[in-house]
Amino acid sequence: MTVGIGIAGAGTIGGALVRRLIDERAAVVAKTGLDLEVRAVAVGDLAKPRPFTVPDGVMTDRPLDLIDDPRIDLIVELIGGTGIAGDLVMGALRAGKPVVTANKELVAARGPALWAAAEAAGADLLFEAAVGGGIPIIRPLSETLAGERIVRVLGIVNGTTNYILSRMADDGATYADALAAAQGLGYAEPDPTADVSGADATSKATILAGLAFGAWIDSAAVHREGIEGIRRADIGFAADLGYVIKLLAVAERTADGVSVRVHPAMVPVRHPLASIRGATNAVFIEGGAVGELLLAGPGAGRGPTTTAVLGDVIDAARGVLAHARVTPRIKIEPADAADFGSIATKWYIRLEVEDRPGVLAAIAAAFGDHGVSIKSVRQEGRGDRATVLVVTHRAPEARQRAAVAAIAGLDVVAEVGAVFRVESDEA
């Protein structure tokens, strides 16, 4: 039996998916027994050249028409954003049609409502490509690890930023040069804000936290910092101290609830995430019974993402033919994020100070006044100025911030040059 596919969006991923469904149709039939036929492709500009050829009548500029088209059994949404894409996905689910999407922004913004619509209509919503590109992570969290008490999820979930930081660490590139290289390779958009600001990773962190802990944290409540302020000096200092700087998405269970945050962090060189280079993504899961799991692979790009989408299409098509859902029920309840100020973290602080007696004592006193213990201090003098590197023991975020604010106000401190959290199991 043939399953009719409607695809909304024929950009980089959508165009590649159409080509694969056409070129590999016979191979998919031979391997899975599923005959997947592209019956509609919705685009914004019908006159624009496309990297595929389809029969007359397949192309349309009316994506919402896919919902009621009786020829279409399942819909693939690759438009992006939360506007018309949201209307299409919600409308399709309410009509009982399964939906496949790679739209992390939409899933992060409207996840609970979309799952409720899917549940009410008995329709499938599949979004494996929304978080890790070619890395299978949605299925492991929602199926294989459904009975596991997950403690923490750490993710390098943005290939653009990981490529930039890798170039800075491995080749000594400046941030600007590494960003330009990423744009030249197609890893970064002409406007890279969503990537380098951490916004893209925040959407993915929201989804990971929901699946890992069954708690839906509004993306607006996720603490977010980007990589724009990272300099080569800090990359070098981190290496000297035995760390690698990564942009991490962190979701963890705490005594006060679920905490979700996205920010650059110093990762010990012995940690599995420290070796993830280039545009590769990885998700590190810590569970009470399963221990530690690392899922890594190409997290972005046309090929890996299209493969993940095609896998979802095949699963959804199986459900169509079986007249049954193939995805497990996802039960995620809205929840308030744990107070970020109470989360205990370690900090690395780079200070530019006057090089004279009493400076270290004043800095140590400020930390002590705010209940923050110092793990290590390193000073490098340069005439009448010095660079002081401080790594603290774990302390609540609020105390760390207050201590650094007090230090910034000291007469002997010219600048708080950088602040990074340090991810490790040590106190």
Residue 99 and residue 282: Cα distance in Å, rounded?
Answer: 26
Token pair listed for 241: 């101290």
Helix axes 302-322, 25-32, angle to 10 degrees: 50
Question: How many other β-carbons are positioned within 10 Å of the β-carbon of residue 196?
Answer: 22
- Given a contact cutoff of 8 angstroms between Cβ atoms, the answer to whether 10 and 18 are in contact is yes
Residues 6+ apart with CB under 8 A from 54: 18, 22, 38, 41
Residue 336 and residue 256: Cα distance in Å, rounded?
Answer: 10
- The closest alpha carbon to 74, from 20, 4, 123, belongs to 4
Q: Residues 380, 386, 390, CA angle at the centre, nearest 5°?
A: 65
Host H or E run for residue 386: strand 385-392
The reply to whether 48 belongs to the active site is: no
Helix locations, 140-260, DSSP H? 159-171, 175-184, 193-196, 199-213, 232-240
Residues 6+ apart with CB under 8 A from 7: 14, 17, 18, 38, 40, 41, 42, 75, 76, 78
Residue 204 and residue 40: Cα distance in Å, rounded?
Answer: 29
- Chain centre to alpha carbon of residue 68: 33
- The closest alpha carbon to 11, from 52, 64, 62, 69, belongs to 52
Residue 152 and residue 70: Cα distance in Å, rounded?
Answer: 44
Q: What is the DSSP letter of 121?
A: H
Q: Is 16 helix (H, G, I), strand (E, B) or coil?
A: helix
- Chain centre to alpha carbon of residue 91: 26
Token pair listed for 47: 């006159």
Q: Residues 156, 108, 118, CA angle at the centre, nearest 5°?
A: 125
- Alpha-carbon torsion 165, 167, 173, 178, what sign? negative
Catalytic, out of 31, 48, 97, 204: 204
CA distances from 322 to 37, 70, 301 (A): 17, 18, 32
Token pair listed for 56: 């007359």
List active site positions.
204
